[in-house]
Chains A and B, each alone.
Chain A
Amino acid sequence: MLPRAEIAHWLFAAGFLFFALVLLAEAIVGPDVFRRRPWRAHLWPSLLLFGGLWLWVIAIFSTFSTLHLLAHAVWAQAATAAGAVQLAVVRGRLVSSYWSLVIAAGLVVSGASFLIHEQNGWLFARSAFLHHTIGWTMVIAAIFPVGAAFRPRRSVWAYGFAAAWIAVSVMLFSDRDVAPIFGHLSELAGGVPVP
């Protein structure tokens, strides 16, 4: 019944990559040009909002530990909240640039959940290393929406936000249930003992 974790990771990696490329395109051409066609403006907030729905699907497959169940539930709610708020900003229901702080909060909460739910150390295996790295990437990436809240005209925040999601998607694509990291795999995870 339980799909392999890496299959879910790769599916989300593909989604995040598309999401990141949309963000990058908007950063390169600028919001004015990008949003000439209204549907484009709705694209990445909608991806985030409906990504939250998919995360509920993953959550109900994550009952093998309480911590995993709670972490996926947190991600689902963070994605839904961030997507809905950004969509409301795009449609003009919310006007203040400070609403991007919701995205920052979502990133911090999601990153913290990544760090807390990974029960192994950094070099235990590749998946553990990547969970730690993704967690810290998300926490640090929160600086970009915070910057956008206080200095909305500077494009560096948009580039940084897009780059962070590209990094997350690459890390998720590299994630496998049992695989070495830097040539090392813990014996406890099935690695060969060093003679």
Chain B
Amino acid sequence: MRRALLAALLVALVVPGVAAAHATLLRATPAEQGRVEVAPTEIRLAFDQSVTAPPDAIVVLAADGRRLSGTVSQSARGTVIQTPVDGLVRREAYTVRWREVSADGHVGTGVFTFGVGVDPPPPTEAVGASGMTWRDDVARWALFASLALLVGVVGIRLLVLPRTVDPRVERRVHLLGVLGAVAAVNAGIVGFVIRSANALQVSGVDLLYADLSPFAESTRFGTAFLVTTLGFGACLTILAVAWVLDRPGLRWPAFLLALALVWSYPLSGHQATEPNASLVGQVADWVHLVTAMLWVGGVLTLAVVVWPLAPDLRRTAFLRFSRIAIGLVAALVVAGTVVAIERLPAVSDLWETSYGQILLAKIALVLLALAWGGIHHTFVRPRLERGERTPGVGRSLLGESAVAMAVLLAAAVLVNGAPPPVESDAGEAAPTRTAPG
């Protein structure tokens, strides 16, 4: 048996596979997300290897969905495919969808936009791109939940718990922080790929070979993705070093870096892309996110770290968190109100638009969580102050954590939703953006 396995391994190593190619797009004319002043008569795509062009290898679409491209032809070596285009006019943007079959049989796909005399929209707004789906919401929820661990649990450890704690508490905080960083970086990658797939309109194996670079390089969410991927990777390394060296103070740079990285979400979401976007709205969005993460992280820390592992620490941790929770909730509500006012021009939008209805659902969940926290504040806090026993509080904190997770889900759906149109500076109602680019 052992010899058979060894022989199979050697055969796998020695026998070469069929020489087959997978092509990558080198350049496009007009350039991806480029602006040209004269309408082109031809679209050319150059690949690093020979490709086979299916009949719909290049499809050029006007903003109204009209197809403007003709029959696709190839250069002699097969590395360039081109199609004539007709009917392009100035001051219009166009979408190019391309497909090629590489020699290995894989289908490479991509989408980009270009403008004639105008700046093109981001590829997420290409003709045929779909809006957000439940997959985007789940990815965003996973991101928020991981930030609750990375920013919340690590932040509460640094800001609330005493300098010296039980080693088991320290270990679990290390574990949750590292878990949060790993989850944040991976949720970011998954979210980016899903978002790109919505515009590419591909799935499965075709998605694995799709070109994501226009989304990474030409959209706000792509830039945020690049920055946060690198940043959360750095957070992960710093937290790992803090654990290895047993230097809890080293968590500070990871925490501060994570706080800075949260800023990338207001800069790539509705707060930056809507016509009435303002710096105040972006700051409010950042404060809203950070206070929410600290609040959820605080409840989680009490529920899964302090209560099960350190009975001696319960009183101190609970009372200290109670003190800052009031400030956190106040900042959370004020910042959330500022953001809501900016996104919802009329009060009636709250019940007349789907965005407003999701916001109402989120507010209801927040009120439930606040009421739960209020019960803890009113009934548990005095008993802890008197040094009395508090049976059932651990389970109650877990319940509050579950409600907090539901709040994060509602927030994820809200962030991915389309707010109602708002008046632009020129006084015209701007179109609703389903996918901030």
A interface list, Cβ under 8 A from B: 1-2, 49-50, 52-53, 56-57, 59-60, 63-67, 69-70, 73, 76-77, 80, 83-84, 87-88, 91, 93, 119-124, 132, 136, 140, 186-190
Contact = CB atoms under 8 A, between A and B. Distances in A.
Contacts of A140: 9
Contacts of B19: 120-124, 186, 188
A65 B229 contact: no
Which one of A60, A63, A76, A83 has the highest number of Cβ atoms from chain B below 10 Å of its Cβ? A63
**Majority-rule SS of A interface residues:** helix
Nearest to B78: A188
Interface string B27-49: 00000000000000000000011
Contact of B210 (A53, A65, A122, A188): A65
A73 B193 CA distance: 13
Interface in B174-213: 182, 185-186, 189, 193, 196, 207-213
A65, A76, A123: most-surrounded residue (chain B CB, <10 A): A65
Given A56-B233, A57-B230, A189-B21, A119 B189 contact: no
A188 B50 CA distance: 5
Given A50-B237, A60-B226, A67-B208, A93 B244 contact: yes
B240 A73 contact: no
A121 B16 contact: yes
A65 B244 contact: no
Given A53-B234, A66-B209, A66-B212, A189 B49 contact: yes
Contacts of B48: 189
B377 interface: no
A122 B186 contact: no
B254 to A, nearest CB: 13
Contacts, number: 126
Given A70-B208, A84-B243, 16 more contacts: A52-B237, A59-B233, A64-B25, A73-B189, A73-B229, A76-B233, A77-B182, A84-B240, A91-B244, A93-B243, A120-B19, A120-B20, A120-B104, A121-B17, A140-B9, A186-B19
B318 interface: no
A73 B50 contact: no
Contacts of A49: 237, 240-241
B381 interface: no
B86 interface: no
Contacts of B209: 65-67, 119
A57, A70, A91, A121: which has the most chain B beta carbons within 10 Å? A121
Contacts of B166: none
Interface residues of B, number: 51
A55 B245 CA distance: 22
A60 to B, nearest CB: 5
A186 B12 CA distance: 21
Chain B interface SS verdict (over half): helix
Contacts of B210: 65-66
Contacts of A120: 19-22, 104
Contacts of A87: 244
B236 interface: yes
A193 to B, nearest CB: 10
Contacts of A119: 21-22, 102, 104, 106, 209
Contacts of A123: 16-17, 19
A136 B12 CA distance: 9
A88 B244 contact: yes
Given A65-B209, A188-B49, A80 B240 contact: yes
Contacts of B1: none
Contacts of B208: 65-67, 70
B103 interface: yes
A189 B77 CA distance: 10
